[in-house]
Amino acid sequence: MDNKNVEIQSNDDSSKMAKNIQKLMEWSYDKSLNGLPQMDSAEELANNYLSKHKNSEDAIKALIKTQNMKAATSGFLTGLGGVIALPVAIPASVGSLLYVQTRMVAAIAHIRGYNLKDDQVKTLVFVSLTGNAAADVLRNVGIDISKKITMSYIKRKLSGEVLKKINRLVGFRLLTKTGSTGVINLTKAVPLLGGIVGGTFDASSTYVVGKVAKKQLFNQSPTFTV
């Protein structure tokens, strides 16, 4: 096989893996909203932390800390993998980690007052999963999160095909993890073969994902004005 064909095969494999990640993102969000056996939904999780802390900031800090500890505990992710049925053929630990991070960010959004049923909010949750790459992902569609932006502005900018584009970008970003960005490291992943996808995971990325959600994407109420 010549170099050109190898490159095409590599691109095809990456595209398939990115599509699988997108399916897993959708699954994780759905389960975050509706819950899993023995697991609170994102809303229930958020309300639980709000009831135990004097304000939303403290609740979010505690939430991130606890979810980071869970993600760092391989036994927790393995146990969680035993009660979930993933929509794609990838290791349960991948789905478990992505679910933990998605539910955490959705809970942060709920604490801030966002409607988790909004498509724009769902996409912003997905963007959070890319960690430190979140700003670059949104910059590709003309949104600068370094500036204060209203939810009405987000709704105008993130509509129709733009949402689909961002979701695709997130899928590929999660396959090109560098440092503290994202979940899956493509350099240590093998091509999709026989239903098995190899990957490596960095539990510390959960902290980064939570920090980005807290400070950049869901850093104020959706009803604030500028």
SS (H, E, C) 151-209: HHHHHHHCCCHHHHHHHHHHHHHCCECCCCCCCCEHHHCCCCECCECCCCCCCCHHHHH
Average pLDDT, stretch 162-185?
69
Q: Chain-wide mean pLDDT for the chain?
A: 76
The confidence band for 57, taking pLDDT boundaries of 50, 70 and 90, is very high
Q: Average pLDDT for residues 131-152, to the nearest whole number?
A: 82
Least confident of 75-79, 86-90, 108-112, 124-128: 75-79
Task: State if pTM tops 0.85.
Answer: no
3-class DSSP state of 39: strand
Q: What is the DSSP letter of 36?
A: B
Per-residue confidence (pLDDT) for residue 140, from 0 to 100: 87
Residue 177 in this model has a pLDDT that exceeds 70: no
Q: What is the average per-residue pLDDT within 75-102?
A: 67
pLDDT of residue 5: 45
Residues 17, 19, 21, 23: is their CA dihedral positive or negative? negative
Alpha-carbon gap, residue 32 to 100, rounded angstroms: 8
pLDDT at res. 70? 79
Tell me how far apart the alpha carbons of residues 224 and 106 are, in angstroms, rounded to a whole number. Answer: 19
Model pLDDT, residue 95 = 73
Name which residue leads in pLDDT, 165 or 43: 43
pLDDT score recorded for residue 221: 74
Buried b (16+ CB within 10 A) or exposed e, 127-137: bbbbbbbbbeb
What's the pLDDT at 49? 97
pLDDT greater than 90 at residue 85: no
Which amino acid is it at 115?
Answer: N
Query: Using 50, 70 and 90 to split pLDDT, how confident is the model at 192?
Result: very low
Tally the residues of the chain.
226
**Inter-axis angle of helices 119-128 and 92-112, to 10 degrees?**
120
Measured between alpha carbons, how far is 13 from 7 in angstroms, rounded to an integer?
10
- The tens digit of pLDDT for each residue in 95-118 reads 778 888 999 999 999 999 999 999
Per-residue model confidence (pLDDT) at position 80: 59
